[in-house]
Amino acid sequence: MSVQLYLGDCLEVMRSMPDKSVDAVITDPPYCSGGFSETGRRQAKGQGLRSETLREAGWFVNDNMGTAGLIWLLRQMATEAHRLLKDGCSMCVFTDWRMVSTLAPALESTGFRWQNLVVWDKGNPGLGFGFRPQHEIILHYVKGTGKYYRKDISNVLRAKRVPAQEKDHQTQKPVDLIEQLVTLVADAGDVVLDPFAGSGTTGVACIQTGRNFIGIEIDPTYFAIAEKRIAEAQMQPRLEVTV
């Protein structure tokens, strides 16, 4: 499988890519965590992260914008994604529930059709009181009429969190979760783009399921981690996905 990794700004890299050269976009951008300012974000509950983790590592990686700035960035990303995607293809964007009401219509305004709101059920609730967090949201968009490659996937995806001791990134997603997305919206041999590649989980999922991958990451530390994880995945036998 082909893998292309870019260290840099996703908008700059995407603008250099040709029209209709991608079959799916799957990405986990900064969430902004529901605040219009740094103060607003710090008043949020940390999405289940322990307070000592926040003290040691700060807020979420590269999440230093208010809501307005994040929406501008992601709308620009979606505009380029719409140009890059072939007709009938999908864009899946992870987000926090606090962001859905503002982010979802902003992304749809770039020409996509908002197809579904997908829930990642983590299996066990996080920390806190009251309705303890157990899920994250994935916004699913299509360019035209969507094409799908599995019939056994619902809009509730179940996968356990990555254990804290195994994480290479604060918001790292489990590979088996991303594999469910990848195999539904991209066929074997298709090209999947992740503009916010982080520690490379989407790339690992693509390699393990026989998809080609293009990843963009702005942080050199996480870019290096993504390179290592993807190189390791390339040395493993490819998984057989039953449809």
**Largest Cα–Cα distance of the chain, in whole Å?**
49
Residue 213 CB neighbour total at 10 angstroms: 27
Its pTM stands at 0.85
Q: Are strands 191-194 and 22-27 parallel, antiparallel or unpaired?
A: parallel
What is the mean pLDDT of each successive set of 10 residues along the chain, which is 243 residues long?
Answer: 94 97 95 48 44 42 66 95 98 93 95 97 89 94 96 96 78 93 98 96 96 96 95 79 48
Predicted pLDDT of residue 19: 98
Which residue ranges make up each domain of the chain?
3-234
Predicted pLDDT of residue 190: 98
Query: What are the residues whose beta carbons fall under 8 Å from the beta carbon of 109, sequence distance 6 or more?
Result: 75
Q: Where are the alpha helices (DSSP H) in 109-148?
A: none
Residue 116 — φ and ψ, nearest 5°? -165, 160
Predicted pLDDT of residue 194: 98
Judge contact between 195 and 77, C-beta under 8 A: yes
Determine which helix (DSSP H) or strand (DSSP E) holds 160, and give its type and residue range: none
Judge contact between 240 and 22, C-beta under 8 A: no
CATH number of 3-234: 3.40.50.150
Predicted pLDDT of residue 35: 43
Determine which helix (DSSP H) or strand (DSSP E) holds 17, and give its type and residue range: none
Helix (H, G, I), strand (E, B) or coil at 207: helix
Predicted pLDDT of residue 238: 65
Q: What tokens were used for 6?
A: 């870019």
